[in-house]
Structure 1
């Protein structure tokens, strides 16, 4: 089959690789300039910052096997970060299970998407705006910044949407009853704060879940393996605060989150580099049962980290992988 996949995050890349291995012709359309989705690394004059997904774990046998292969290839490595819980500046034991080993991609989280994208046909900076039936096949209306009008791509025998539910639902609404199920899910935003300091802060931890703050998480990025040395920190705002301030001016957001970082850590050292990034669709607010959605008659499917995929919770790297793999198997 000739298959179009919309979205080059981990779910889309996983689905594409397994379909290609089975002999299908796959083309991925990605609105951003690189693959990996929220497994991103922001490149700056100070080096890379993991401003999206911070780490991942593996609980299922299927994903543990895949992670072992990635580790053997040198794509990922364990992160033995010292993690705590912070409440009004006081650090205490994190209270979260350490049974599952925390893994990170090297030399940055964005590198995993680059590895998985190798050998795949990806159309970057192209946004799919509509799906259209063409007999028993599909056409895509695709928008690119370099072209004034939408282009038509296809025909394709099947289409797979590896997108946040909030982006997949409008594409499905005119053409498929799957839109009803997808419309039940929504992903909350997240403002990320990126900080570089000239001197060490001397904090006795590498990452922390923050209580009673605008922030929910902070991490010393350079504590991860194969990172560029330096006092580099990432902070993620809570979903509630990010939703409330979604449309705020980035400079104002940076000011507020930097103040929250100082309050949480007790350090008043000013950074030499500071920036923010808005992840508009960052974390599922609920979980859709199952691994994916696939309409075999229409040859139309949806996958993403907002599916339960047999796990407790959603929004993790493992959810994305298992969902993409399940849809590849269903479509094949």
Structure 2
């Protein structure tokens, strides 16, 4: 079959690779200029900022095996830096957890590796699905063209995009559309800070309590990342929802103040930028692995499916959901 995969984040790339290995002809459509989705790295003169997914862990044997293969290929490595919790500037030890992994030399590097050998059409946003007999056409809006063009026909379509975006393409599948709307994704503001001198903080990352922030990390503490003093801060879900439409400059001022308060360091950055993730993490993850209409051959996967795990929004969810869907496709 000729299959279209919409979305080149980890879930879409995993589905595409698995489907291609099963002998299908796969074309991937991605609205952005690069692959990896929320496993994103922002490049600057100071170096890269992992401003999306910070790290990932593994709880299932299947994902542990995949990570082992990625490690052997040199795509990922363990991040063993000290992590703590912060409460009004007070540093407290964080509890032990599973091994944390990062892609090198930035989180988006994993997606770039997974995209090798795939036909990925970047900067092409899928606006609609149109039935064409027992096949499908995609209405695709390219950055360089004013009018959407038709792509296809395809024998099957896989949507590997945030729930809100998937729902907009599922009008012909009301049950799927309703399910996607239930999994509404919450936003997250990210703050990227570069400093000329070290902040001399005794940790590489921290969960922040009672603050506008929920997490901070020193990007340069991650293995094989460019040297320097670069920090990423994520706002709390509640603050991000309340301030979703805040002007970026105002959001930056407020989050920078929160960073200073949380760390107790008042050194001013030489670089400060914010990014608004409108679709960061599912508030109500769907309990199943994925969705697939065997008759009409349209499916959906992503990190907003539980895929056998507790909760959602993790790299492991994205991987397992995609794998489950690809193996369901006949």
Quickly name the TM-score band, shorter chain normalised: over 0.9
For 1:1-332, what aligned pairs fall within 5 Å after superposition?
Answer: 1-95=1-95, 97-98=96-97, 100-332=98-330
CA distance, structure 2, for counterparts of residue 176 and residue 5 of structure 1: 20
CA distance, structure 2, for counterparts of residue 330 and residue 176 of structure 1: 21
CA distance, structure 2, for counterparts of residue 18 and residue 90 of structure 1: 46
CA distance, structure 2, for counterparts of residue 183 and residue 231 of structure 1: 40
CA distance, structure 2, for counterparts of residue 184 and residue 149 of structure 1: 32
CA distance, structure 1, for counterparts of residue 53 and residue 328 of structure 2: 27
Residue pair 1:188, 1:239 contacting (<8 A) in 2 also: yes
Shift of 1:177: 3.0
Q: Find the residue that maps to 2:34 and give its secondary structure.
A: coil
Residue pair 1:71, 1:77 contacting (<8 A) in 2 also: yes
Residue pair 1:104, 1:224 contacting (<8 A) in 2 also: yes
CA distance, structure 2, for counterparts of residue 317 and residue 19 of structure 1: 19
1:296-320 Cα distance to aligned partner (Å, 9 max, x none): 0010000000100111110000000
Shift of 1:175: 4.3
Shift of 1:88: 0.4
Contiguous gaps of at least 5 residues in structure 1:
none
CA distance, structure 2, for counterparts of residue 87 and residue 35 of structure 1: 36
TM-score normalised to structure 2 length: 0.99
CA distance, structure 2, for counterparts of residue 55 and residue 145 of structure 1: 31
CA distance, structure 2, for counterparts of residue 102 and residue 149 of structure 1: 44
Shift of 1:176: 4.7
Q: Find the residue that maps to 1:177 and give its secondary structure.
A: helix
How many equivalent residue pairs? 330
Contiguous gaps of at least 5 residues in structure 2:
none
1:107-133 Cα distance to aligned partner (Å, 9 max, x none): 000100000001100110111111111
CA distance, structure 2, for counterparts of residue 283 and residue 219 of structure 1: 19
Q: Find the residue that maps to 1:320 and give its secondary structure.
A: helix
Q: Find the residue that maps to 1:254 and give its secondary structure.
A: helix
Q: Find the residue that maps to 2:121 and give its secondary structure.
A: strand
Shift of 1:258: 0.3
TM-score normalised to structure 1 length: 0.98
CA distance, structure 1, for counterparts of residue 31 and residue 221 of structure 2: 31
Q: Find the residue that maps to 2:211 and give its secondary structure.
A: coil
